[in-house]
Chain A
């Protein structure tokens, strides 16, 4: 999205193609009718396009997309006088389960990790993302096990604090 905002059309097309899969599934599940879902999907893509300047690159992209998708869904219910029966508030619904594609979330995680010192980054990557045990990570970095635990814990706490500040 950042490259799209800078005017990179190819990156933008790739992004929209990826999003359309998520959005189609999101609307299909809530509307049931494929034609309605497709209409709403297109409307959402156009809205995202014409209002793309409202995306703030310092905030998670997924949250921005979800907010627009949700707004368009509610708008659709309002126009068709139907009540929304299912919980609309959970951002995980859009990006969480299906298509098993964590690419966007992955991007958010990467950017957050880069805010940490290099050593802490490595520890969190090894233990929390690549799935090494504490002992393995300790051996790899020549640290004691408790130093690894403390490092990971502090790093995550810092990140949690920063994410919290964004709201």
Chain B
């Protein structure tokens, strides 16, 4: 095919390109992923039985804010990296703020507590399953994000994949927090973060291959 013919073909019946299409695509993917993950959490794990009293404790909200802030900054970064000339800029730094905050809080709580409580703060009652459950609940979101990124134009595939992974991990964590009854900051800082980190690593590895266009 001649290049001139190609140009004519591409420019006839040109449709209007939607504005903010990148953010829109990613939002659709997120919405689908969140719906699937939330239903999965509800049917498979069930919401925590002490939901009402738990909602009166600050730690319940702290866990949600932790996951939500990472998800929000991850979304901002993904919106950048989904474009060919996208630079992470300030979003990449913002992404680490909630983590730094959580680590400081966990350290503070840890040294404040009497030594005999230390192991309970670190391991809680569910350390063996926490990160695994977060990863499993993140997978629907992860798949939806990758599917939408393939139609966009990331050129730094490892970075874009890692960002999608962290974003999916943060959303999975948010949903898992409705099930999980742990309330110690050190537990959250370790196991919640581990779940998100695993998703980020998975995204970095898979991004290089699955996000090609």
Evaluate contact between B13 and A9: CB separation under 8 angstroms: yes
> What CA separation (Å) do A5 and B14 show in the bound complex?
9
From known contacts A54-B152, A67-B155, A68-B155, infer whether A7 and B14 are also in contact, taking CB-CB under 8 Å. Answer: yes
Q: Tell me how far the C-beta of B25 lies from the nearest C-beta in chain A, rounded to whole angstroms.
A: 8
> What CA separation (Å) do A59 and B87 show in the bound complex?
11
Evaluate contact between A13 and B7: CB separation under 8 angstroms: yes
From known contacts A16-B10, A52-B17, A54-B22, infer whether A47 and B85 are also in contact, taking CB-CB under 8 Å. Answer: no
Evaluate contact between B89 and A167: CB separation under 8 angstroms: yes
Digitize A99-115: 1 where CB-to-B-CB distance is under 8 Å, 0 elsewhere: 00000000000000000
Instruction: Using CB atoms, name the residue of chain A closest to B213.
Output: A47
Contacts of A56 in B (CB 8 A): 22, 83
8 A Cβ contacts from A14-32 to B: 16-17, 20, 24
From known contacts A5-B16, A6-B16, A51-B153, infer whether A17 and B85 are also in contact, taking CB-CB under 8 Å. Answer: no
Evaluate contact between B7 and A7: CB separation under 8 angstroms: no
Q: Is A63 part of the contact surface with B, judged by Cβ < 8 Å?
A: yes
Q: Tell me how far the C-beta of B146 lies from the nearest C-beta in chain A, rounded to whole angstroms.
A: 16
> What CA separation (Å) do A92 and B74 show in the bound complex?
31
Evaluate contact between B17 and A5: CB separation under 8 angstroms: yes
- Interface residues of B toward A: which range? 20 to 34
Evaluate contact between B7 and A70: CB separation under 8 angstroms: no
Digitize A71-110: 1 where CB-to-B-CB distance is under 8 Å, 0 elsewhere: 1000100000000000000000000000000000000000
Contacts of B212 in A (CB 8 A): 75
Q: Is A10 part of the contact surface with B, judged by Cβ < 8 Å?
A: yes
Q: B residues within 8 Å of A by Cβ?
A: 1, 3-4, 6-8, 10-19, 21-22, 82-85, 87, 89, 151-153, 155, 212-213
CB-defined A-B contacts under 8 Å, sample of 30: A4-B14, A7-B16, A7-B17, A9-B13, A9-B14, A12-B10, A12-B11, A16-B7, A24-B3, A45-B6, A45-B7, A45-B10, A46-B6, A52-B17, A53-B18, A53-B22, A54-B21, A54-B153, A55-B83, A56-B83, A63-B85, A67-B84, A67-B85, A68-B153, A68-B155, A70-B155, A71-B84, A71-B153, A71-B155, A167-B87
6 A-B pairs closest in CB distance: A53-B21, A67-B84, A13-B11, A7-B16, A67-B85, A9-B14
Q: A residues within 8 Å of B by Cβ?
A: 4-10, 12-13, 16-17, 20, 24, 38, 41-42, 45-47, 49, 51-56, 59, 63-64, 66-68, 70-71, 75, 167
